[in-house]
Structure 1
Amino acid sequence: MGRYILGAGATGLAAGSILGWKIFEAEEGPGGICSSYYLTTGLTSRRPTRAPDEEDYRFELGGGHWMFGEEADALRVISQHSDLRLYERKSSVYLPARDLFVPYPIQNHLSYLPPQLADRALDQLLAGSEGPQTSMSDWLRRTFGSVLCDLFFAPFHRSYTAGLWEDISPQDFHKSPYDRAMIEKGRHGKIDSAGYNVRFSYPVGGLGSLFRSVAQDCDVSYMKRVTAIDPVKRILKFADGTDVRYELLISTIPLNRTVEMAGLNIPERPDPYTSVVVVNIGGTRGKKCPDDHWLYVPESRSGFFRIGFYSNVERSFLPASRRSDARCISMYVEWALRGGEKPSPREVARFCTNVVGELREWNFLDEVDIVDPTWIDVAYTWSHCGSTWRERAISALRDIDIHQAGRYGRWQFQGIVDSFSEGLNLGQMFGHDKAAPYRLSPSGLE
């Protein structure tokens, strides 16, 4: 019987590089939803690596994933595999009905709104509101007031959570910060950026290159999708018909899936999640396309809630011959759905057509080279109000020597750096099975 890691994303790779345990990965390559891929105009076949002439677009399966966080050990190890470029975030809320851009977070930049609207919003922000804050919708309305909720928070979170916002607990408070002093200052002038990702980094060669490099320090078996876990006989079963006996598992597979595969009965309804269709687009920018890295969109006719611009962050996302062409752009759009409600190919095609049409109406997009949709089954995880399902599920799995890890394994928001750091810490916790590329001292990595 062996010890294994399930999933070759950031957490699994980091743990595997320390422990030397075999990693079983369901897909053809490492990285999970952060995987990069390449497409050439006129072709439909995705490639994991860049063409020799670099005349292709680079996209990511789950849309743009940027690295924020200050965990020194994780960043040190990541930097051994790829140089990192640093960026100052530029993101905005875009209000299509007003054709208005307001820097993120909107509550800190009221001076961009019409004066009367801004004054009403400020009054409510400073006054606050008494009452229960059990759900996300309660918390947003009590914290930010009806003016900003009607303008942005309500329609955005309704779209972002696929309608779950009235039934789930508040979470990710760092994404919607409340700072009274900054709110007051921002009503009368421009202020500094705020939020959890003011500064971020990105690997020079892309995330795919980073993860492939880390994977070289690991023992990874690809195309090994786990379909069942027998916790009594300690057997892992795979989609290819094979199986293997195990002693202990580190699983980065989504928590709900691991519970199902292990046949556990958690006496509480599972917490919800949302799936996402990501539409990756390459082409020519329209005359009103912003230079933001990404936009939060409260309402769109097509139904998307966010637009990101890969090439506004890094021109290497573009074909080599077009990187100096200011009009060339690559971007992504996100559409959230209730967990597992996968749209049909026809529905996805219609969504892509609508997205391109709407972006052209907004003058964000002109000519189109590539439109390529991807499907992320478990994209965002949530908790029902008052739920203890997550804690119960993690505990029940731990009792049978399955240790959940990572963003989806532990059903919590965390970025790439946090996930990498967690994997390194797991390596320290479970010890060394072989000579590893990174040595752990009592104070951390050396």
Structure 2
Amino acid sequence: MGLKGKEQTVILGGGVTGLAAGIASGGLVLESEETPGGICASYYMGVRSGRVYPHPPDQEPAFRFERGGGHWIFGGDPAVLRFISRLSPCQRYTRNSAVYFPQWDLYVPFPLQNHLAFLPKEVAARALEEMVAQPGSAAGAETMAQWLEKAFGPTLCELFFFPFHELYTAGLYRAVAPQDPYKTPLHVPTVIRGAFGQPEPVGYNQTFIYPEQGLDHLVRSLASACRLQTSSPVRRIDLRERALHLEDGTVIGYEYLISTLPLDRTLTMSGLATSSRPDPATSVLVVNVGGVPGKRCPPYHWVYFPNSRSGFHRVGFYTNVAAHFRPKGSKSPLVSMYIERSFLPDALPQGDTLAAAAQAMVQEVVDLGYLEEALAVHWNTIRTAYTWRWPGSRWNQEAQQLLLENGVIPAGRFGRWTFQGIAESIAQGLMVGATARS
């Protein structure tokens, strides 16, 4: 097709960071998929037809699902939360999550370390003794496994933290550096109070907000305020000519380029390489299920599993957060849920193997009593879902600096190879986009 023209600013990726950058900069947002939103996109699946819709359908009742599983909006600057709520009115919820131990058929509220009173007495006593004996000793741990054991002791690690992280990190937890300690906070006085039945709410997501009309409404509101071009995958970034080569042959020039694509992918597309070993990532298979709840369907927003037959590490229940995830007008209680299983990227299944893995996950939640009958099943794979760091690695800093030196601004959760929520991602997009406009 040839040269389409030259843009002042182009943003790669139409997730929430890219859309926010597009609003702030006035630049062109290129999204490879047919619809924007990235892993935060909601979609709908018809009960009668099994058809997938990007928006709520009028012709049949449908379950609401999310591409990346439950993405709730936690934390965030008050100004950013107000910005989000003005685009799409939100409700605030208090987290209700738990860990399930099948050997005892026992649910323990999360964070586990703050609810020792729910565990068998001898286990709780041993775990408490270990955590009190070495408070603050996690400093200096080189790997996530070392950090977990130093922080929580061998009892809780053997019971939950090691087997859960084996599933969650697809086995990387013994090799990658500690990160995201706020996800599993350790405060000994709080642990002691929890051991005697007086737990306190802690963690980064004690409360969260969620749009009343779904994340798809928030994404559409963001998209309507910027220049978005969907179905536009970029094949190559020509740094010398400052041009983007799309898969369909179109070439778009740019003055200012923001990339929210995964950091390693942006490097490859740009023809750049670091001297450092690239940091790893894990992939996730998300299986969305709508149906008739089983007799043992729990009341939690999500449940963590230290072990499972089919390899999943978390089951979440959209409808335990908000009723609008079930089909409109449904006369009987229905459940909308998601199941997550992690893989190393090169081990992510395809074709029939992927279908078999997804079906095994659904069958296990049926066997757990969470689901009586599945009425809608749909799955998605996310190749770069969680990002990690090797101990002592400077790859992230080197990669970002290399891109900056070549006129590419990395932004967002995957663009900067870090963990951040929706609110922080939107804030970063607005900030980076504003610098392009100035």
Both structures adopt the same fold (TM-score exceeding 0.5):
yes
Deviations 1:129-163 (A, max 9, x none): 57851000010011101100000000000110000
Return structure 1 stretches of 4+ with deviation > 3 angstroms.
Answer: 129-132
- For the residue of structure 2 that corresponds to 1:142, the secondary structure is helix
Distance 1:17 1:87 in 2: 28
Q: Does 1:171 align with 2:179?
A: yes
Shift of 1:187: 0.4
2:20 maps to a residue whose letter is A
- For the residue of structure 2 that corresponds to 1:321, the secondary structure is coil
Equivalent in the alignment of 1:325 = 332
- Pair 1:283–1:341, CA change in 2 (3 A): same
* Aligned mate of 2:403, from 388, 397, 400: 397
What does 1:345-424 align with in structure 2 at a 5 Å threshold?
A: 345-424=351-430
Give RMSD over aligned pairs: 1.4
Distance 1:385 1:38 in 2: 41
* Aligned mate of 1:145, from 134, 153, 170: 153
Equivalent in the alignment of 2:259 = 251
- For the residue of structure 1 that corresponds to 2:231, the secondary structure is coil
- For the residue of structure 2 that corresponds to 1:184, the secondary structure is helix
Normalising by structure 2, what TM-score? 0.96
Distance 1:264 1:47 in 2: 38
Shift of 1:44: 3.5
CA contact (8 A) 1:134 1:385 kept: yes
Identical-residue share of aligned pairs (%): 44
Distance 1:130 1:350 in 2: 40
Equivalent in the alignment of 1:266 = 274
Shift of 1:192: 2.6
- Pair 1:34–1:111, CA change in 2 (3 A): same
Distance 2:238 2:354 in 1: 37
1:276 maps to a residue whose letter is V
Distance 1:239 1:21 in 2: 20
Distance 1:372 1:42 in 2: 14
Shift of 1:318: 0.6
CA contact (8 A) 1:352 1:371 kept: no
2:313 maps to a residue whose letter is F
* Aligned mate of 1:135, from 139, 143, 153: 143
Distance 2:193 2:60 in 1: 46
What does 1:37-436 align with in structure 2 at a 5 Å threshold?
A: 37-52=43-58, 55-128=61-134, 132-322=140-330, 325-326=332-333, 328-431=334-437
Q: Does 1:18 align with 2:24?
A: yes
Shift of 1:269: 1.2
Shift of 1:352: 2.4
Q: Which runs of 5+ in 2 are unaligned?
A: 1-5
Shift of 1:309: 0.2
- Pair 1:45–1:53, CA change in 2 (3 A): closer
Q: Choose 11-20 or 291-300, whichever is displaced more.
A: 11-20
2:84 maps to a residue whose letter is I
Distance 2:215 2:253 in 1: 33
Distance 1:146 1:402 in 2: 45
CA contact (8 A) 1:54 1:320 kept: no
- For the residue of structure 2 that corresponds to 1:74, the secondary structure is helix
Q: Which runs of 5+ in 1 are unaligned?
A: 433-446
Deviations 1:253-272 (A, max 9, x none): 10000001111120011110
1:389 maps to a residue whose letter is W
Q: Choose 175-184 or 41-50, whichever is displaced more.
A: 41-50
- For the residue of structure 2 that corresponds to 1:424, the secondary structure is helix
Equivalent in the alignment of 2:3 = none
Distance 1:313 1:395 in 2: 41
Q: Choose 69-78 or 4-13, whichever is displaced more.
A: 69-78
- Pair 1:178–1:286, CA change in 2 (3 A): same
Shift of 1:73: 2.2
Deviations 1:347-391 (A, max 9, x none): 222222222222122211111101211111110000111110000
CA contact (8 A) 1:296 1:305 kept: yes
Equivalent in the alignment of 2:12 = 6
User: How many residues end up aligned between the 2 structures?
Assistant: 430
CA contact (8 A) 2:288 2:339 kept: yes
CA contact (8 A) 1:132 1:138 kept: no
- Pair 1:402–1:131, CA change in 2 (3 A): closer
- For the residue of structure 2 that corresponds to 1:320, the secondary structure is coil
1:338 maps to a residue whose letter is L
Deviations 1:176-201 (A, max 9, x none): 10011110000010423211101001
- Pair 1:224–1:340, CA change in 2 (3 A): farther
Distance 1:132 1:426 in 2: 34
Distance 1:257 1:131 in 2: 33
Distance 2:239 2:347 in 1: 29
